[in-house]
Structure 1
Amino acid sequence: MLIDPNLLDDKVKELPIEFETYEEEVGFKEQLRIWHEKYGHIFMQEINDVIFFFRALSKEELKIAQEVYNDDFERTEYICKTCVIEPIIEDYSLDIFAGVPEILCLSILEESGYTKAQKVKIMIARWEKHMEEVENQLPLVIKEAFQDIPLSEIESWTMAKTAEYYVKAKWLLENIRGLKLLGEEETQQQ
């Protein structure tokens, strides 16, 4: 289950876990913020009353799992050790109930989009919808004009700085490179 980053907002009362104290809830939200900044999307899976938090498996990590680990158990352990954030388990053959690594690995592969083509289509549709919003397009225009600036850096800017660089990027692309940037109305007409 994907943990929605909006759940980190103090206004939202419902989290997938119940807390005994407000301090525990605040601490958990802060930990989620840190994980979200470091890993991107964070997922949660409860197995045998143990809650596992994990991140998605990258294509490069999947390739390593397939090419380096011939044994299913070793491959499963590699995927779990690579992606599980909490709890940290040193040895999946000794420190956990039988069958748990397999269930966890399947969840990691599913949430990462490697088991069902429909999951990938849903991810793509979500990102296409995301890109319909102008504020999500601005960093890409800036990146095209100023290719030496990492996209992650551009996305961390304030809106004022983003707007400033967008205007500069638009001018550069249209006047120096001869490109025509389409407005929202022009895009809908095509």
Structure 2
Amino acid sequence: MSMKFLSRGLLLAMTVPALLTAGCGATGSGQAMKGAASPASPTGTDTGMYESPMPGDSGTASPTGTAGAMTSPRAVVEQFYKALDEGEAQKAAKMFTSDGVAAVQGKDTAEGMQALTDVFEDAKVEGTPNIEESEAMGKAAFVSATVDSTRGFFLLANEGGSWKIDRYMSNSSSD
């Protein structure tokens, strides 16, 4: 079994209970999000939960690495929300791995650069994200964050020393 699948499997085993508790339990309906699979196509303050940075992790963009290289999952998520705040859908999509997937409430699941760009076109999120949890383990990480009433859950992968969003799920809490 490849390390990629092993690390993803371990990360999912840790995060599925959190998704079920946070996403589905919050709506009371048992369904956190709606959406159908689409075909593949061409700084907030810490709330006291926990943050486990990688060794040497400053939580900021790397000054000596490649342009745009991010050294922490938290920094990637903060930049993602900044891109959405600025209406930069393509910039937000480029923060994903080549096979990245986004499941945004009320929209079809997006996979691939064009589908990700399309789903973020009108997904403007205003405000500073509140990073609730951030945990990195080797080449995989997860981050949960909120902006206003929108909750986001991110699975990230470290590719060549730079963190990229691999899976993203968001929904809004119902009142």
Q: TM-score with structure 1 length normalisation?
A: 0.23
The structure carrying a bigger helix percent of its residues is 1
Question: Taking CA–CA contacts closer than 8 Å with sequence separation of 6 or more, which of the two structures ends up with the larger relative contact order?
Answer: 2
Rg comparison, structure with higher value: 1
Q: TM-score with structure 2 length normalisation?
A: 0.24
